[in-house]
Amino acid sequence: MIVLAIDTAGPRCAAALVDTAADGAVLAARIEAMERGHAEALLPMVETVMAEAGLGWDAVGRIAVVTGPGSFTGIRIGIAAARGLALAAGCPAVGISAFDALRESLDPDPDEPLAIALDARRGQVFLQVFDETGHRAPLAVDVSNAAAHIPDHVRRLAGSGAALVAEAASTRGFSVLADRDIRLDSLAALAALRDPDTAPATPLYLRPPDAKPQTVGIARK
């Protein structure tokens, strides 16, 4: 399956075409670091990767988008684009949380418990725990109190806020995995496996927005 993967939930704008039937081969990709301006950058970026891959919209079987948590504006831009492009292409849009996408990107031992902490600024992190029970509900918590929401048997931390949590709870002896961005091929792989009916492209907000969001429009060609 050819999947168009989009990530605008963090401080970057990223789009890639991935062939999940060919071991996740990335056919074309564009990634730009940016704090704002996603609305202006995303659609030209998508057009570029489509042109580089030499594919038409009829070849795209699914559109994957990171639903958050993260930048309120970025999330809205990415989801609006994914929905509009899916409608124009006649394929499903599938939403994947930043937690699930990062966990897949890290490729950790699935049998080992893991807590993912994303830097939410304002002295907070977005936190989700994965262990033998599956995954627990994500939270927005203060860095100083984040460890209280992590069970004692969970020793590994990952994500942009992991070092903050480990430093604030130094007595817990957390092991911090190297920070990395979400891999677009991992995002596409998850989207190819998910049922679009149970994984809709809807935003995952864990707290109110910090600023007024931008808007994005999708035109059918």
Per-residue model confidence as pLDDT tens for the chain (221 residues): 999 999 999 999 999 999 999 999 999 999 999 999 999 999 999 999 999 999 999 999 999 999 999 999 999 999 999 999 999 999 999 999 999 999 999 976 777 899 999 999 999 999 999 998 878 899 999 999 999 999 999 999 999 999 999 999 999 999 999 888 999 999 999 999 999 999 999 999 998 876 554 444 444 33
Question: Residue 96 burial by CB count (10 A; 0-12/13-18/19+): exposed, middle or buried?
Answer: buried
Q: Are 76 and 214 in contact (CB under 8 A)?
A: yes
**Same-domain status, 10 and 28:** yes
pLDDT of residue 175: 96
Residue 210 belongs to some domain of the structure: no
CB atoms within 10 A of CB 148: 9
Residues 189 and 172 in one domain: no
CATH of the domain at 56: 3.30.420.40
Residues 14 and 87 in one domain: yes
**Shared-domain flag, residues 71 and 9:** yes
Same domain for 74 and 116: no
Structure tokens at 99: 């937690």
pTM for the model stands at: 0.91
If asked whether residues 11 and 83 sit together in one domain, one would say: yes
Instruction: Extract the tokens encoding 176.
Output: 């911090």
Cα gap 115→103, rounded to integer Å: 9
Both 119 and 86 in one domain: the answer is no
Block residue for tokens 């030499």:
54
Identify whether residues 9 and 89 lie together within a single domain.
yes
Tell me, yes or no, whether 207 lies in a domain.
Answer: no
DSSP state of 69: S
Q: Are residues 67 and 128 in the same domain?
A: no
* DSSP per-residue string spanning 131-173: ETTEEPPPEEEEGGGGGGGS-TT--EEESTTHHHHHHHTGGG-
Is residue 104 in a domain?
no
> Within 9-144, where are the H helices?
38-53, 72-89, 98-106
Q: State the residue range of the domain holding 128.
A: 109-176
Give yes or no: residues 22 and 37 share one domain: yes
89 and 139 part of one domain: no
Q: What is the Cα–Cα distance from 198 to 180, expressed in whole angstroms?
A: 27
Within a domain: residue 34? yes
Say how many domains are in the chain: 2
- How far apart CA 213 and CA 71 sit, in angstroms, is 9
Q: Give the Cα separation of 25 and 73 in Å (integer).
A: 30
Whole-angstrom Cα distance, residue 116 to residue 99?
7
Q: Indicate whether 140 and 86 sit together in one domain.
A: no
